[in-house]
Structure 1
Amino acid sequence: MAFAATSSSSSSSSSFSTSFSSRSISSKEFKGQQICSFRPTNTSRRRSLKPVFADLKRNDSFVPAAATSIVIPEVQEKVEKVEKVEDYEKLAKQLEHASPLEIMDKALEKFGNEIAIAFSGAEDVALIEYAKLTGRPFRVFSLDTGRLNPETYKFFDTVEKHYGIRIEYTFPDAVEVQGLVRTKGLFSFYEDGHQECCRVRKVRPLRRALKGLRAWITGQRKDQSPGTRAEIPVVQVDPSFEGTEGGPGSLIKWNPVANVDGVDIWNFLRAMNVPVNSLHSQGYVSIGCEPCTRPVLPGQHEREGRWWWEDAKAKECGLHKGNIKEEGGQVNGAAHTNGAVVEADIFETQSIVALNRMGIENLAKMETRREPWLVVLYAPWCQFCQAMESSYIELADKLKESGVKVGKFRADGDQKAFAQQELQLGSFPTILFFPKHSSQAIKYPSEKRDVDSLMAFVNALR
């Protein structure tokens, strides 16, 4: 301001005193002239500064005080908008041993109406129950792919009535679905993998739904899929999708039951007497679209009821694709030691013979054998191989004195192409029986991998 410049010069001060003494001006008139001489010409500026000048009193130091009291409104507004960035890795560690109810309460408290529960029509009803128990308002959304079981649609209606809520449904784009079906048919996923169909019917609709949120809540658990979900935290920055503000890191993903076992989830559902999908009583555990879901058989992992025609590593539809790590990174059953990946093997017992490439080749080429062999083609990271480990070991112990050799051949990695071409490998695990007097290996056709079913297969052929 002009006044600050004049207040620093002694000559100007002398001139000011001479001028002042030559006129007989009252104190009241002088004060009025001072204030008027510093009124800004801009109207909006005048409104902003008026409160500061309105309280000024006549004293020798009022000019510096006025100068230091003025705060530019625009700058102040920007300062107020600065928000503290949350460290979600740190928060995940703090909540690692918290209960699902505590985690749910934290999520709803933090994000309010900008967070929603993803409900699939299966055990995710536990999430809704936890949300209700917090006493906070909550939102629920679901993806209607157009291919769900009738029982699932009925369950949606039951849940809405039980909790007095309205589920926010998201649907796939009709044009995209029409293009896929016209080009490849209704069941193309049986032939070329489920990823394309899931992308059209699930992933893209989910992406649109999440664009309107800052956070979402899922029912992921570590024990659901050891190959892809073993390391999920209770809260994380979503690695795949974007939220309202857009860009990487704009969406937060909460997994309140990440550390809860499936058995405990079901104990909770029974204790709270909440409605459940009737498909569960028919042997379904993990429930998705009708053509891609079937009951789990004895000896199978719960996720094996989904996309059963594919390898174990493909048991994600894309909604949680951030869980899947590259082959060179850490996978299920793998641990890092000084940067190297060391995989824990399975079927480790003296009753089972570990065959190398040469061993399995020689066994397959023999036209006559001294004894029949039962061999499993496996991958140690495969959760379905892991699920049958105990039954296969028990079977090997029972066959010790029977004259039937029991073996294993690791058929992933560099050996996978060979196993597919020469050993009938379709997906892991594949079980082969090599008869005593036949060169042709017989593939076990069933997915029942309990001891009794495997023993019946062996007894029928030896």
Structure 2
Amino acid sequence: MSTFGMISHATTRAVSANARVTARKDVDNRAQRQARVTTSRGKRTVETRANASEIDAMNENFASQTPLQIMDAALEKFGDGLAIAFSGAEDVALIQYAALTGKPYRVFSLDTGRLNPETYELFDKVEKHFGIKIEYCFPEAQAVKDLVNEKGLFSFYEDGHKECCGVRKVKPLRAKLSTLTAWVTGQRKDQSPGTRNEVPACQVDPVFEGAKGGAGSLVKFNPLTDATSQEVWDFLRVMGTPVNELHEKGYVSIGCAPCTRPVLPGQQEREGRWWWEDASDKECGLHSGNLSAEAKAAQDAREATEEDLFKNSKVHALTRADIEKLKDEATHAETTIAVLYAPWCKFCQRMQGGYENAAENLSPKGIKFVKFRADRDEKEWSKENLSLESFPTVLLFPKGRSGYVKLGSERRDADSLQIFIESIVGKL
């Protein structure tokens, strides 16, 4: 069954479901505020821990179910021990699904202190539309004060976003989740293929712990994982759900104001977040468990010896002297494209096939493909001289010109590389 195969049925139930929610609004809200596990059938015992076999069984069932059915099952199983994480973006669909179940539900949001005005306005609209009170989580004032006084208001542009996110988002989230047994997120596989393409509908949270502490103490539901952006927006439109006005201005993935910008047609959603960093860092820490343990180990062992990359005969290896000479040429005699890489970097590894294919196809057309290993002793020099910010970095040295042009996109397949080259030097 299609992920959204039940939307039409859900829509026909919307009026009656919303009527039930409205009629029971006072009772449900009071139940949420008092943290009671109560439904229209009375008190019930909810799960506080899950094991791997239970998770596997749920995922097997969820494979043929809709987001509405997954949400209903999550609320049924965990009751008031579960809360929906709401970021102020299209994950408002989660709240709409929860309302359609007719069950009591809780919603929480992280107020980092740096959200867009439109996001705060949406919080207010959502509370009024659904008759709920969002549980707001705030960072520790002293931690924010210390960070800003030491590094300024925009340190993340230089040091990376993870320190700021750690203070403003991860720590408050960790504190909130330590009071729960399950939570619901709006993650989708199509949001960022680099980090979210293996997100399951249900999992034992790989990063955070719940109220009982220890392994299996927190379950994470991702009802929208198999949905596309188009399907989510079709649902929001047909239900008349309030949405963030930033979406009308080209914003897709919405976070803090300084770290969010609109995306262009054809870009992945998460390319509008922390655009100065590579795809490997496009998680703020809330969902860092999307990266496998093996991938994390590889990231942590950056100096480890790995087999070299880009070994195709059409790709020439450069020394520092070679690439420094290329950089300093007054006029380039030929068009050269260079990849600054580290063998241990999984994104460099993924790029290898596309780069080598492009070399095979475009070398006969006068494009020279080169590589320069820019980690270890070459990293600081490359940062200073070749605009290295993350791996891989792709530079184009156009024939007849000086200097280079840096590839700004995260798309590094053969077709995208050709588009990049032709956009600078003309049709090949």
TM-score (norm 2): 0.71
Letter in structure 2 aligned against 1:355: V
What's the RMSD between the two structures over aligned residues? 4.1
Q: Displacement, 1:120?
A: 0.2
Q: Distance in 2 between matches of 1:266 and 1:342?
A: 44
- Equivalent of residue 215 in structure 1, options 182, 190, 215: 182
Q: Displacement, 1:458?
A: 2.7
Q: Distance in 2 between matches of 1:328 and 1:212?
A: 29
**Paired residue for 2:145?**
178
**Paired residue for 2:390?**
427
Q: Displacement, 1:122?
A: 0.6
Q: Distance in 2 between matches of 1:317 and 1:241?
A: 14
**Paired residue for 2:30?**
none
Q: Distance in 1 between matches of 2:99 and 2:378?
A: 48
**Paired residue for 2:226?**
259
- Equivalent of residue 100 in structure 1, options 55, 59, 67: 67
Alignment CA distance shift 1:228-1:456 (3 Å): closer
**Paired residue for 2:253?**
286
* 1:7-18 to 2 correspondences below 5 Å: none
Corresponding residue pairs, total: 361
Q: Distance in 2 between matches of 1:408 and 1:283?
A: 36
Q: Displacement, 1:119?
A: 0.2
Q: Displacement, 1:242?
A: 1.8
Q: Which has the larger radius of gyration?
A: 1
Is 2:88 aligned against 1:121?
yes
* 1:231-310 to 2 correspondences below 5 Å: 231-310=198-277
Cα offsets for 1:295-332 (capped at 9, x unmatched): 11344321111111222211111111222235657999
Alignment CA distance shift 1:314-1:91 (3 Å): same
**Paired residue for 2:404?**
442
Contact map agreement 1:353 1:408 (CA 8 A) in 2: no
Q: Displacement, 1:225?
A: 2.2
Q: Secondary structure at the match of 2:158?
A: helix
Q: Displacement, 1:198?
A: 0.9
Q: Distance in 2 between matches of 1:97 and 1:84?
A: 24
Q: Displacement, 1:96?
A: 2.5
Alignment CA distance shift 1:358-1:233 (3 Å): same
Alignment CA distance shift 1:412-1:362 (3 Å): closer
Q: Secondary structure at the match of 2:190?
A: coil
Is 2:53 aligned against 1:91?
no
Contact map agreement 1:213 1:243 (CA 8 A) in 2: yes
Alignment CA distance shift 1:444-1:193 (3 Å): closer
Q: Displacement, 1:236?
A: 1.2
Q: Distance in 2 between matches of 1:303 and 1:400?
A: 32
Q: Which structure ranks higher in relative contact order (CA pairs < 8 Å, sequence separation ≥ 6)?
A: 2
Letter in structure 1 aligned against 2:274: W
Alignment CA distance shift 1:363-1:208 (3 Å): closer
Contact map agreement 1:233 1:258 (CA 8 A) in 2: yes
**Paired residue for 2:336?**
373
Is 2:76 aligned against 1:109?
yes
Q: Secondary structure at the match of 2:220?
A: strand
Is 2:191 aligned against 1:224?
yes
Contact map agreement 2:72 2:101 (CA 8 A) in 1: yes
Alignment CA distance shift 1:412-1:133 (3 Å): farther
Q: Distance in 1 between matches of 2:48 and 2:151?
A: 49
Q: Displacement, 1:289?
A: 0.4
Cα offsets for 1:323-366 (capped at 9, x unmatched): 2235657999xxxxxxxx999x99xxxxx995242499757645
Q: Secondary structure at the match of 2:193?
A: coil
**Paired residue for 1:405?**
367
* 1:441-460 to 2 correspondences below 5 Å: 441-444=403-406, 455-459=422-426
Q: Secondary structure at the match of 2:195?
A: coil
- Structure 2 residues without counterparts, runs of 5 or longer: 1-44, 300-305
Is 2:317 aligned against 1:357?
yes
Q: Secondary structure at the match of 1:216?
A: strand
Farther off after superposition, 321-330 or 214-223: 321-330
Is 2:140 aligned against 1:206?
no
Letter in structure 2 aligned against 1:405: I
Is 2:278 aligned against 1:311?
yes
**Paired residue for 2:119?**
152
Letter in structure 2 aligned against 1:357: A
**Paired residue for 2:34?**
none
- Structure 1 residues without counterparts, runs of 5 or longer: 1-79, 333-340, 347-351
Farther off after superposition, 139-148 or 409-418: 409-418
Alignment CA distance shift 1:285-1:84 (3 Å): closer
TM-score (norm 1): 0.66
